[in-house]
Amino acid sequence: MTFRVLVVFSVLCTAQCLAHSFPPGFKFGAATSAYQIEGGWNASGKGRNIWDTFTHGTSNIVVDKSSGDIACDSYHLWQQDVNMAEELGLDFYRFSISWSRLLPKAFANEIDEDGVAYYNNLINELLKRNIEPVITLYHYDLPQILQDLGGWVNPLIADWFANYAKVAYSLYADRVKTWLTINEPSILCDYIFTTGMFPPMIKEPVLGPYLCNKNVLLAHAKAWRIYDEEYKPVFKGRVSIANNPVWIEPASPEHANLAELAREFGAGRYSHPIYSKKGGWPPSVEKHMAILSKKQGYSESRLPSFSIEEIELIRGTYDYYGLNHYTSRVIRPRRPGEEIGPWIFYGSTELDAVLETPKSWPTTDADDVVMYPKGIRKQLEWLHHKYGNITFLITENGCASRSDDNDQDRIAFIKSYLEQVSLAIKEGIHVEGYTVWSLMDNFEWLFGYKTKYGLYKVDFNDPQRRRTPRASAHYYANVIKTRTTDFPTNIRHKKKYYNNRSNAKSLHSHNILLFILCWLCVK
């Protein structure tokens, strides 16, 4: 082999090895949530939640006028869910507990034994198959009785949530070692109150997002401290919260300061109080809201203050950073006369700015998700820079589609985002795992069953809700087995392919050989 060929081969091999592999111990999982898959909306003693109320009363707002009354019927078909997780070779399966299934009246004075048994069965079967259960305590489905009392803008909800968390810990902490308190608080607070398009259907963008923001942080902190003081010494588990910041870049260099303020406004408001050394609101957000509120004629900032005791209660309440990431945007100032849509995907009246999607970023055929893989790495880098050498767990990442069978976009999405996660790890950022949303098609909130995120297709016309692996399931299964993204993505629907130990062994041997060749090249 000539020197020139050797150098080229060395560069190609080394780049391939470095860019697409994952370190030993890196974990792969998939996720779902209770209301989206369980069904059994009134089974046994389950209480009513805000999504039950919403879909039964105003279901015409859901695009296909559907509900989660039956969904994937996982309340009865949970063993099929575990089968899928095992087929994929998942290291962990993230799911949520329905607050109103466990506590029908929302409070600890009444615990439904059938609800307790349902989650016990699921947890035990996962562990039997060497799959780690990862539990989210709250994923949008607030008990209706608590919403009637004010929901997430009532400061008492922090204690209500903490009491619920304590019940869940007491039942399952002996087997569940990884917990998430609240899923996507920026959707729960910012999106819901600025649009009014999500249960509880209250549009109040002036104070609602910020009261909710503070109460969510207090609820998380109280739940975390209960576990830390009473359960961690015995069971050695860990607890965090799942944030979902949209990565934001400046539309042009002169908007760099605006982009940084937007990141603090989005990610920082839900991260800085927990992960920063000083705690409290991000200083730039606190200053901006004080000035803006004064201009608007308010006697005090619309961003509620923290007491010293509250700052200390919230600060440091994490064992890792749970990161949901789907999409990115660029930001620019609003032009005169230009309308601004709701915060998250369109812009912010608070920042007088507009969020846009560059034409060069590919889009999917559903939702507001655009493909900008570098966004997940840049978000990790930003959080790492802000809060130090903390551990990250990617708790959601996935691609929506309205097509049942055209799955190549989803494969390309998973592959490209995983490669950016791998690069972040090579940069020294401690990312310990990655979660695909979602294990299977489910009730996707306002998009009903028209939008599909599943690795598995679900036939919602079949009483047995038949689950069928898509090409992306086969692809992801091979990523898990080989710990690399480096193989063809045009995998066909051959169920035995990823269950066949000889195929997996062959792929694994290929990677070992490739690693040896790369090492020899470098040497």
Taking the chain (523 residues) in runs of 10, the rounded mean pLDDT of each run is 41 49 96 98 96 87 95 98 98 98 97 98 98 98 98 98 98 98 97 93 96 98 98 98 97 98 97 98 98 98 98 98 96 92 78 93 77 97 98 97 85 96 97 98 96 97 97 97 81 42 41 42 38
Question: What CATH number has the domain spanning 22-485?
Answer: 3.20.20.80
pLDDT of 270:
98
pLDDT of 347:
73
Q: What angle do CA 444, 450, 451 make, to 5 degrees?
A: 55
Q: Which residues pair with 92 in a beta bridge?
A: 29, 132
pLDDT of 36:
98
Among residues 184, 249, 264, 419, the one annotated as catalytic is 184
Q: Which two tokens stand for residue 34?
A: 């209770």
pLDDT of 59:
62
Amino acid occupying residue 434: Y
Decide the pairing of beta strands 321-324 and 27-31. unpaired
pLDDT of 368:
64
pLDDT of 404:
80
Q: Which residues pair with 393 in a beta bridge?
A: 322, 433
Instruction: Centre a 10 Å sphere on the Cβ of residue 388 and count the other Cβ atoms it contains.
Output: 10
Measured CA to CA, the distance from residue 437 to residue 29 in angstroms comes to 9
Ordered by start, the domain boundaries in the chain are 22-485
Measured CA to CA, the distance from residue 442 to residue 460 in angstroms comes to 9
pLDDT of 133:
99
The DSSP 8-state label assigned to residue 484 in this structure reads B
pLDDT of 521:
39
CA-wise closest residue to 355 among 338, 370, 340: 340
3-class secondary structure, 2:
coil
- For 396, residues 6+ apart whose C-beta sits below 8 A from its C-beta are 31, 242, 244, 324, 325, 326, 435, 437
Measured CA to CA, the distance from residue 352 to residue 255 in angstroms comes to 12
Among residues 350, 396, 419, 444, the one annotated as catalytic is 396
Phi-psi region of 239 (alpha: psi -120 to 50; beta: other; left: phi over 0): beta
Q: How many residues does the chain have?
A: 523
Measured CA to CA, the distance from residue 449 to residue 447 in angstroms comes to 6
Q: What angle do CA 31, 72, 174 make, to 5 degrees?
A: 45
| Residue 215 near residue 310, CB atoms below 8 Å | no
Q: Which residues pair with 180 in a beta bridge?
A: 136, 240
Q: Is 396 a catalytic residue?
A: yes
The DSSP 8-state label assigned to residue 254 in this structure reads G
pLDDT of 507:
43
pLDDT of 367:
63
Q: Which two tokens stand for residue 246?
A: 């949209």
Burial label, 517 (beta-carbon count in 10 A; 0-12, 13-18, 19+): middle
